[in-house]
Amino acid sequence: MKTVNSVVFSSPQFALLSDTQLLDLHLGALEVLRHTGIRFHHTEALDMLKEAGAFVSDGNLVRFPARLVEDAVASPPGRIVMCDRDGEPAMFLEGTKVYFGTGSDCLNLLDPETGKHRKFIQADLINAYRLCDALPNIHFVMSIGIPSDAAPALIYDVQMALMLEHTTKPIVFVTDDKASCQRAIDMAAAVAGGYEALTEQQHILLYSEPSSPLQQSETAVDKLLLMAEYQLPVVHSPGPLMGGTAPITMASGLVMSLAEILSALVVHQLKCTGAPFVFGAGLHHMDMGAAQICYASPEFQLTKAAIAELGRWYGLPTWGYAGCSDAKVMDEQAALEAMLSVLMAKFSGANLIHDVGYMESGLTTSYEMIVLTDELVALTDHIMKGIEVSDDTLMLDELDKVGPGGHFLDTEQTLKRFRDFWFPSILDRKRRPQWLEAGATTLGQRLNARVKEIIKEHQPEPLDPDKKQKVQEILAQADG
Amino acid sequence: MMMNQARIEQLHDAATEILQETGLNVHHPEMRRKLGDTGAKLGEGPRVYIPAEIVEQALSTAKHQEEIVVHNRLGEPVMPLGPHQIYFGTGSDCLNFSPPPSPPKPALSKVEGLGGKKGGAGEHREFTQADIVNGYSLCDSLPDIYFVMSIGISTVLPGASKVPAIARVLG
């Protein structure tokens, strides 16, 4: 029973779009770009696009020949390796490797000590970054919250300084305008040991958005071009609402998102050929009954998976969402939406999965949700391993040796392999008497206890004092 | 796709090898006799060794049957068990029941829920027949629960004889 080229492992896989559907969406986007066009509120971008052969009319409406788009798609790298603060490779954004991180800029948190729903302050962010630093399956951070105790003009600078100080993990950042983006780069470069070192380490990635439908704002393009100059990675991800800022069908929403992403990519690559670019979009819809953006709808699961497939089809690293919920507290709904989105993220194979911890359409963060997602990532890692079918694992000899009516409790193989099964750290599998004995806790209680324990105990590796000083100087200059 | 044809065949071949070489214990006299009549080798005690041809024969007979269509009590075809048809139903024979809390807990359990002595342990007791009747009635009303299994074993009904689960399901 020997076979050549036998596949012993095959991960569960998920394919949503056929080859012709992928092509139809791409061709639809090319037609939107050729015929309808995109408004660029950015003079330099308009000049570059005109020079490269795009058609500019009505002041700032840009229409794209297919060649321009095809050239742009061909030039960015197919993989990005993001390093941690020490310059060690931490995330390989390629193929179907999946990494998880938080979301950015929630107004509120669910206070783990009091259970209250309140505004973020800087101390909460420090706790949150330390929490993420400790969790093995949270691979990168975004800012999580907007600190209400920071000057409004300095919110993004404060977030960047705190992230650099309180976690070694890679950072995906959001910022206001070109100047604050430059300061974020300056801070990260100070920590990396210079601009060249930062470019080599790719420790930070910028998240920005087009202004749907079919517009690119001055500040977004400013930031995009700045990051391109430094050869630092960006994701320029539309976040439209189907039925609001996008047409009502998923197919049309995808086509519009593609047109917006590709038009940004053209400018980005014209500025600096080969600059790293991550492909992403968050195509939501509005629940017309609740008048609220859905972060956990079945449709959102589908559009995320479609975007991941499209990104891979273009040969680019990809962006996604999981560990987020429409629930208001860390309840059963939050848990099931976390599980659903994490599993779908794994099946879709998007590289950077963000928004872990988001509740209430991204208005609130729950630290318990971040800890739960960490656990669910570990759980789904074991699903993605699939089943090994090989002579080693078929164990016909063992079956024959034990034979009918025997048992496998004490065999050498059982002893050797029983730890290969996944063991949860938060989910409970105790027998009822032991569970009662241990306090009869619910998942929510155990998550809360774990959050408090980590915040109390975990100390991230301290940032070098000189580097911290430099970061603080940049922050002080911004204030001045 | 988790399995490809080659891996499915590899698993099937391994299973037939076990049936043929290791065999299995059959404690049912009629089944033993029938297997023997069909060409299986009868070993010591209950042991029976089933050659691959018999397995293949059985699989091909089963495959040639018409599609199984499960009907509801009204005689309507409700579950054709074809490929890619998925139906959901309950489990069978749980010993215990966690009744829904009454009065309902507030949605936000806040701090008293976090450190309270009782934790998540609500009422937990043996099934009564009334619970099981409620269970079937619940499943009857849910559009995406397509079939039922017995759910619970009820041993508790003071003053009444024990009714087999199947009678309650049909009732």
Beta strand A108-110 with A99-102 is unpaired
Residue A302 CA to residue A163 CA, distance in Å, equals 32
Please tell me the distance from the alpha carbon of residue A39 to that of residue A337, in angstroms, as a whole number: 36
Which chain A residues have a beta carbon less than 8 Å from that of B7? 7, 10, 389
- Say yes or no: A232 and A138 in one domain: yes
Q: Are A107 and A306 in contact (CB under 8 A)?
A: no
**Alpha-carbon span A76 to A74, nearest angstrom:** 6
Q: Which domain holds residue A395?
A: 391-420
- Report residue B65's pLDDT band, with 50, 70 and 90 as the boundaries: confident
- What the block records as the tokens of A439 is 């306090």
- Does A205 share its domain with A283? yes
Give me the half-sphere count of Cα atoms (radius 13 Å) on the Cβ side of residue B53. 4
Residue of chain B nearest A385, judged by CA positions: B2
Q: Considering only CA atoms, which of A87, A159, A358 is closest in space to residue A239?
A: A358
Q: Is the pTM of this model over 0.90?
A: yes
Q: Do A432 and B1 touch (CB under 8 A)?
A: no
CB A355, CB A362: distance < 8 Å: yes
- Residues of chain A neighbouring B113 (CB-CB closer than 8 A): 442, 444-445
User: To probe the interface with B, which of A427, A442, A446 has the most B CB atoms within 10 Å?
Assistant: A442
User: Residue A195 is part of a domain; what is its CATH number?
Assistant: 3.20.20.480
Query: Are residue A363 and residue A416 in the same domain, yes or no?
Result: no
| Residue A117 belongs to some domain of the structure | yes
State the pLDDT confidence band at B103, using cuts at 50, 70 and 90.
Answer: low
* Chain A residues with beta carbon closer than 8 angstroms to that of B120: 440-442, 445
Q: B171 vs chain A: nearest CA distance in angstroms?
A: 33
Of A35, A45, A44, A40, which is closest to residue A60 (Cα–Cα)?
A: A40
State how far the Cα of A413 lies from the Cα of A436, in Å rounded to an integer: 33
Q: List C-alpha distances in Å: A203 to A86, A230, A375.
A: 9, 12, 25
Nearest to A389 among B7, B47, B108 (CB): B7
The count of CB pairs under 8 A between chains A and B is: 76
A167 and A306, same structural domain? yes
Rounded Cα–Cα distance for residues A55 and A61 (Å) = 8
The count of other CB atoms within 10 Å of the CB of residue A210 is 26
Q: Do A445 and B119 touch (CB under 8 A)?
A: yes
Q: Whole-angstrom Cα distance, residue A438 to residue A114?
A: 23
Domain boundaries, chain B: 5-63, 96-170
Mean pLDDT, rounded, for B74-101: 92
Per-residue buried b or exposed e for A110-125, using 16+ beta carbons within 10 Å of the residue's own CB: bebeebebeebebebb
Q: Which residue of A has its CA nearest to B3?
A: A10
Residue type, A393: T
A70: left (phi over 0), alpha (psi -120 to 50) or beta: alpha
Residue B171 has pLDDT above 60, yes or no: no
**Considering only CB atoms, which chain A residues are within 8 Å of B14?**
1, 394, 396
Percent of chain B with pLDDT over 90: 64
| A368/A406 same-domain check | no
What's the rounded Cα separation, in Å, for the pair B129 and B137? Answer: 12
Identify which of A8, A101, A15 has the alpha carbon closest to the alpha carbon of residue A355.
Answer: A101
Choose the closest CB to B2 out of A12, A399, A448.
A12
Is pLDDT larger for residue B72 or for residue B120?
A: B72
Q: In angstroms, rounded to a whole number, what is the distance separating the alpha carbons of residues A458 and A132? A: 10
Residue A100 included in any domain: yes
Neighbours of A96 (CB within 10 A): 17
The dihedral through the CA atoms of B146, B151, B156, B159 has a sign that is: positive
Please give the tally of structural domains in chain A.
2
Instruction: Find the closest chain A residue to B13 by CA distance.
Output: A1
* Residue in A closest to B117 by C-alpha: A439
pLDDT score at A4: 59
> CA angle at residue A226 from A222 to A229, to 5 degrees?
145
**Residues A118 and A261 occupy one common structural domain:** yes
One-letter amino acid for residue A46 of the chain: L
pLDDT at B141 over 80: yes
- CB contact under 8 Å between B119 and A439, yes or no, is yes
DSSP characters over chain B: ----HHHHHHHHHHHHHIIIII-EE---HHHHHHHHHHTPEE-STTEEE--HHHHHHHHHHHHTSPPPEEE-TTS-EEEE--TT----B----BSEE-PPPSSPPPS--HHHHHH-SSTT----EEEEHHHHHHHHHHHHH-TT--B----B-EEE-TTSPPPPHHHHHH-
Same domain, A412 and A289: no
Whether B169 has a pLDDT exceeding 80, the answer reads no
Decide if A219 is inside a domain. yes
Residues 6+ apart with CB under 8 A from A17: A25, A306, A309, A310
Q: Do residues A256 and A399 both lie within one domain?
A: no
Q: Which two tokens stand for residue A191?
A: 């920590």
Domain contains A27: no
Say whether both A327 and A408 belong to one domain: no
Q: Which residues of A touch B21 (CB under 8 A)?
A: 400
Task: Please check the confidence at residue B115 and state whether its pLDDT lies above 50.
Answer: no
Q: How far is residue A81's CA from residue A169's CA, in Å, rounded to a whole number?
A: 13
Using pLDDT thresholds of 50, 70 and 90, give the confidence band for residue B3. confident
> Which residues in chain A are contacts of B13 at CB distance < 8 A?
1
- Can you say whether residue A468 is alpha, beta or left, with left for phi > 0 and alpha for psi between -120 and 50 degrees? alpha
Q: Are residues A148 and A232 in the same domain?
A: yes
Q: What is the pLDDT of residue A6?
A: 61
Q: What is the pLDDT of residue B168?
A: 56
Chain A residues within an 8 Å CB radius of B2: 10-13, 386-387
From residue B117, alpha-carbon distances to A111, A436, B107, B123, B146 in Å are 22, 10, 19, 14, 39
In this structure, the answer to whether residues A347 and A395 fall within a common structural domain is no
List the single residue in A3, A13, A114 with the smallest CB-CB distance to B111.
Answer: A114
Q: What is the dihedral sign for C-alpha A429, A435, A439, A440?
A: positive
Banded model confidence at residue B113, pLDDT cuts 50, 70, 90: very low
From A387's Cα to the closest Cα of chain B, the distance in A is: 8
Across-strand partners of A246?
A242
Chain A residues in contact with chain B using a Cβ-Cβ cutoff of 8 Å: 1, 3, 6-7, 10-13, 114-115, 329, 331, 386-387, 389, 394, 396, 399-400, 403-405, 432, 435-436, 439-442, 444-445, 448
- Shortest alpha-carbon distance between residue B22 and chain A (Å): 5
Between chains, do B18 and A432 touch, taking CB under 8 Å as contact?
no
Nearest to A130 by CA among A104, A166, A159, A170: A166
CA B154 to CA A344: how far, in whole Å? 39
Among B6, B7, B114, select the one facing A445 at the smallest CB separation. B114
Contacts of A436 in chain B (CB under 8 A): 121
Instruction: Locate A162 and state its tokens.
Output: 């705190």
Q: C-alpha dihedral over B136, B142, B145, B151, to 10 degrees?
A: -20
The verdict on a CB contact (< 8 Å) between A440 and B7 is no
A323, two tokens: 């560990």
User: Which residues in chain B touch residue A329, judged by CB atoms under 8 angstroms apart?
Assistant: 107-108
Structure token digits, residue A467: 């580097």
- Residue B110 reports pLDDT greater than 50: no
Amino acid identity of residue A259, one-letter, is A
Question: Judging by DSSP bridges, how do beta strands A204-208 and A171-173 pair with one another?
Answer: parallel
Chain B residues in contact with A394 by the CB 8 A cut-off are 10-11, 14
Q: Are residues A225 and A286 in the same domain?
A: yes
* pLDDT, mean of each 10-residue run, chain A (480 residues): 59 88 98 98 98 98 98 98 98 97 98 97 98 98 98 97 98 97 98 98 98 98 98 98 96 98 98 98 94 94 98 98 97 98 96 98 97 98 92 94 94 96 97 96 97 98 98 92
In one-letter notation, the amino acid at residue A464 is D
A66 assigned to some structural domain = no
Does any domain span residue A12? no
